[in-house]
Amino acid sequence: MKIKTKLRLGFGFLFVVVLLFGSISLYYMNQISVSAKVILKDNYETLSYTRDMRSILDQNDLPLSAELQAKFKEKLDLESKNVTEKGEGEAVNALTAAYKKMIDPATPLAEQKSALGVVRAQLMVIDQLNMDGIVRKNAVAQHSVEKASLYLVTAACFCFLVLFSFIVNFPGFVANPLREFSEAIQEIGRKNYKQRLEFDGTDEFSELAKSFNEMVEQLNKWENSNLAKIQSEKLRIEAIIEQMQDAIIGLNEKQEILFMNKVAAQLMNLEEGKVNGLNVKDLMKKNDLLTRIMKNEGNDQPIKIYADHKESYFQLQKREIVVPVYDDQETTILQTGKTAGTVYILNNITQFKELDEAKTNFIATVSHELKTPISSIKMSLKLMDDERIGTMNTEQKQLVEHIKDDCSRLLKITSELLDLAQVETGNLQLNFVKADPSEIVNYALNAVRFQAEQKNIQLELITDDRLPKVNADVEKTAWVLINFLSNALRYSAEKSKVLIEIAQKHHGIEFSVRDFGKGIDEQYQKRLFDRYFQVPTDGNNKSGSGLGLAISKDFIEAENGKIWVESEIGAGSRFCFFLPVAD
C-alpha cells in the first residue's frame, strides 16, 4: 500500500470519528431541546386560561354581565381545544356544564352559587392536572438530559481514546523510516559503504531503500577504484564550475575569458568552449546581456532576464581571483597575493522571488480570512457581556476582557499584514487629495482619545492657525499618526502627557508625536522601521507584530515624504514624518 493511500485512510478515519461524535452530539442536543419545549408548550397555556377564568369569578359577583360572560366563554373555548392531560377532558366538560348552569337566568341564585363552587372546583382540578403534567414532563426531560449527557461523555471518551492512540502511533509510521534513512545517510557521510536498509512492503519507503542500497553499492565500487581517485583529482575544478546551477564567467587580468560554464553560455546564447580566450570587450559589442552584466557593478538590484521560457531574476556577484604568492626569506615566510582576474556569478533567484510573492499572497489571504472569525468572536464577546443573556462573575468578566484585548491585537496584526501585502505586491493605492494637516491630526486624535482617557493621559496639540495643505492620502497618513499615538500611549505612564505638534518647515509640514516614557536605546533606533523588528521590553507592555512602523514608513515614502525617530534613554521618544506642501 502506498504512503499516500495510508495517509488518506488515516485522515479519513479521523474525519469519520469526528463526524460520528458531531452527529451524536447534534442528535442528543436536539432531543434535549424537544424535551424542554414540551414542558411549557400546552400546560402553560392551560394554566393561563384557568387563571383568567378564576380572575373573572374572583373580581365580580353573580350574575355576570354579558361582557364578562363572553370573556369567560372565550377562555373556556380555548381550554376545550387545549386538553393535553388524562382526566382533563372530563374536568372541562364538568366545568362547561356548571358554567352554563351558573349563567342561566332561570336558575335560582342559590343554585347559581352552588354551580359557582363547582366551577371553581373544576378549575382547581384542571390546574392540578396540568401542574402534575409539568412535573412529569420535567422529570422526563431531566431524564433525557442525563441520558444524553451519559451518551455524550461515553462518545467523547471513546473518541479521545481512539484519537489519542492515533496521535501516539500514527506519526511513527512516517518518522521511524525517516530516522533510519537519516542514520543511514550519516553512515554514508562517514564513508561506511557497507550500510544497508531493509524495509518490508511495497510502499515508497521500500522502493527508496532499494534505490539507496543500489547507490551505496555503486559508491563502494567507486571508492575502491583507482580510476575514481584519478578522475576525481583531474576533473574536480571542471566539475565544480560546470555542474553548478548558477551562471559563472571567469576573466583573467587581461579581461580575457578563462571559462564560461554551460548555464552562462545558454543564458547569453553563446557557444560553450568557443569563447574561451576571447576579450570580453569584443564580446560586449555583440552581446547586450553580457554588457548589462559587466556594467552592473555596485548595483544590488536583481537583473531581469528571459530564461527558461519566462522572465527570470538573477543576482550578480563579483569576486576577485587572488592567487597566493609565497616569498622565502631567511627569517620568515611571507604570503602575499595578486589579482589574477575576476569571477562573475549570476545566482538564479527566480524561485525565491516566486516564493516571496507566494508568501505575500498567503499572508494577505490568511489575514483576510482571519478578520471574519475574529470579528465574530468580538461580537460573541459583546453578547456575553450583555446582562440580558446572563450575568458573569468577576473572574469570568476578567477573562472576557482579556479575550477582547487579544482579539483587538489580532485584528490589528491582520490589518497590518494586509497593508504589508499591498506594499510588497505593489498594489498599494493612495487617494491623493489636498488635505488640511489639522484635519489629519484631529482624525487620529479622535481614534485614540478613549485609549488615552483610560490611562488618564493628556493629549496636547501644538499647531499654527494657518498651515498650508499637503498632498496626501488622509486615511493612510492618519493611520501613521494613530500608530505613533498608540505606541506613545502604550509606553507612557498613567497621568502623563503626550505632545502632538504640527509645524511648517522647509516647504513642507512636519508632524511629530512626543512621549515622556523611558526612551529607546540608540542601538535599536536604526532598526525601528525594519519589518518584524521589535524593541526588547521588560514584559510590562504587550508588543505588536513589528510591522506598524515598517508599514508607516512605506506609506509616508509613497507620499514623497520621510520618516524618522528621535529618542534618548530616560527622556522619552519623538516620532516624526515630513510631507511636502501641495502645489
Residue 457 has a pLDDT of 92
**DSSP structure string for 24-42:** HHHHHHHHHHHHHHHHHHS
Residue 576 has a pLDDT of 94
CB atoms within 10 A of CB 474: 16
Identify whether the C-beta of residue 43 lies closer than 8 Å to the C-beta of residue 84.
yes
Between helix 350-384 and helix 394-424 the angle, nearest 10°, is 150
Residue 579 has a pLDDT of 93
H or E stretch covering 413: helix 394-424
CA distances (Å), 575 to each of 39, 163, 233, 547, 580, in order?
A: 66, 53, 62, 16, 17
Residue 361 has a pLDDT of 62
User: 433-580: which CATH topology?
Assistant: Heat Shock Protein 90 (3.30.565)
Domain 238-348 indexed as CATH 3.30.450.20: yes
Give Cβ neighbours of residue 335 (< 8 Å, ≥ 6 apart): 324, 325, 326, 327
Residue 562 has a pLDDT of 92
Smallest CA-to-CA distance from 40 within 141, 187, 171, 158 is with 141
Q: Where are the domains of the chain?
A: 1-190, 238-348, 354-424, 433-580
Residue 86 has a pLDDT of 84
User: 354-424: which CATH topology?
Assistant: Helix Hairpins (1.10.287)
pLDDT per residue rounded down to tens, the chain (583 residues): 566 676 677 677 777 777 877 777 777 777 666 665 655 567 788 888 888 888 888 888 777 788 888 888 888 888 888 888 888 888 888 888 888 888 888 878 788 788 888 888 888 888 888 888 888 877 877 787 777 778 778 877 877 787 777 777 766 666 777 777 788 888 888 777 777 777 766 677 777 778 888 888 887 777 766 556 666 665 677 667 777 777 888 888 888 887 788 888 878 778 776 778 888 888 888 888 888 888 776 566 677 777 767 777 788 888 787 766 655 544 444 455 667 788 888 777 777 766 666 655 655 565 555 666 777 777 777 777 777 767 778 777 777 777 876 776 676 666 656 665 566 555 566 778 899 999 999 989 988 998 899 889 999 999 987 889 998 888 889 889 998 998 899 888 888 999 999 999 888 999 999 999 888 888 888 888 887 778 776 655 555 567 778 888 888 988 889 999 999 888 899 999 999 998 7
Query: Reduced to 3 states, what is the DSSP secondary structure of residue 427?
Result: coil
Q: Nearest 10 degrees: CA dihedral of 23, 24, 28, 34?
A: 30
Between helix 88-103 and helix 66-80 the angle, nearest 10°, is 160
Residue 33 has a pLDDT of 67
Identify whether the C-beta of residue 573 lies closer than 8 Å to the C-beta of residue 567.
yes
**Bridge partners of 509?**
504, 579
Same fold, 354-424 and 433-580: no
